[in-house]
Amino acid sequence: MKQLGTITVIGRDKTGVVARVTSFLFEQKANIEALEEQVTRGQFSMTIQASWKTGQLRLDTVKDGLARLAQALAMEIGFHLSEANRKLRAAIFVTREPHCFEGLMRGFRDRTLSQAEPRLVVANRSDLEPLAGKFRVPFICVDWNDRVKAEARALALLEEHAIDFVILARFMKILSPTFVWRYKNKIINIHPSLLPSFPGPQAYRQAYEHGVKIMGVTAHFVSMHLDEGPIIAQESFRIRPQMSLKQIVAAGQGLESKVLVRAVSLFLKKRLDVYWGIVKQV
């Protein structure tokens, strides 16, 4: 049995960061299982998946050492330890549409998503607070008018509740690259089109105005580029002649929660591997 941990490093790009962090982990008897780094407009981001053999992890030493490294490098370094034999903790982000949120909660209740538990609902509106109360999940409304402050608050909540992954259940706000990198390939979104067609808002209207004959929905990991993250699952429906926009939206919404729950289930069963931006089922 081994212990797994995720280290995230974020800050202004500079020389030697990878070497200093990995050297420290090697000194702490860690095995580097995966490492991904990226520089975007001078912003450096790195995610490391590390493991320790049973009995070799000195948690306080690792945390203290990473804190000292963060200070020395003037960067943010986070460490998240995956506890064995416990359910993953999910945070669900919502705005005001209830169908995906309800579908997820039914999945948790009927054991479709038995490997996880919903620990927190974060919203930028208060519309779904009664529904969260019905399912007995803590609901916190965050004012999203200032995205920097809102994301800082949301990240603090995720840390406080020890959240492992995030589900965007028709959450109608764009997350910044800085937010996304902290949960690399751990944020799952549902989009109302067959991506890469019709990214962005008003996807159903775009499809209607373009006269497409097949429409659908896409569940994907969130990346730093809007609606371009690795695709997990898709499903489609035919647009019949004379269908109104309202009818198209209704048909699409009937698939959204189904596909989102399927994507979360695949994630929880550890059947997804992201390779060069493409999700492969394993």
Measured in degrees and rounded to the nearest 5, phi and psi for residue 30 equal: -90, 150
154 vs 93: CA distance, rounded Å: 10
* % of the chain at pLDDT higher than 70: 95
pLDDT at site 226:
77
- Residue-averaged pLDDT of the chain: 91
* Helix (H/G/I), strand (E/B), else coil: 47: strand
Check residue 184 and give its pLDDT. 84
What digits encode the pLDDT tens for the residues 182-216? 888 899 999 999 999 998 888 999 999 999 999 99
Residue 141, beta-bridge partner list: 123
- The DSSP bridge pattern shows strands 43-53 and 2-12 to be antiparallel
The predicted pLDDT at position 228 comes to 84
pLDDT-derived band at 258, boundaries 50, 70, 90: very high
Q: Which is the catalytic residue, given 143, 146, 227, 273?
A: 227
Please, what are the domains in the chain? 2-82 (3.30.70.260), 88-281 (3.40.50.170)
Residue 227: active-site member: yes
Q: Which H or E run contains 150?
A: helix 147-160
Residue 84 has pLDDT above 80, yes or no: no
Q: How many CA atoms lie within 13 A of 2 on its CB side?
A: 12
State in Å, rounded, how far the first CA of the chain is from the last one: 22
pLDDT tens for residues 92-133?
999 999 999 999 999 999 989 999 999 999 999 999 999 999
- Is the pLDDT at 134 greater than 70? The verdict is yes
Q: What's the mean pLDDT in 50-72? A: 93
Structure tokens at 246: 């309202």
In this predicted structure, the answer to whether residue 276 has a pLDDT above a threshold of 60 is no
pLDDT, position 115 = 92
User: What's the pLDDT score for residue 231?
Assistant: 93
Predicted pLDDT of residue 177: 85
Cα-flanking dihedrals φ and ψ of residue 85, to 5°?
A: 60, 35
Taking only the tens place, the pLDDT of each residue in 17-46 is 999 999 999 999 999 998 888 887 788 989
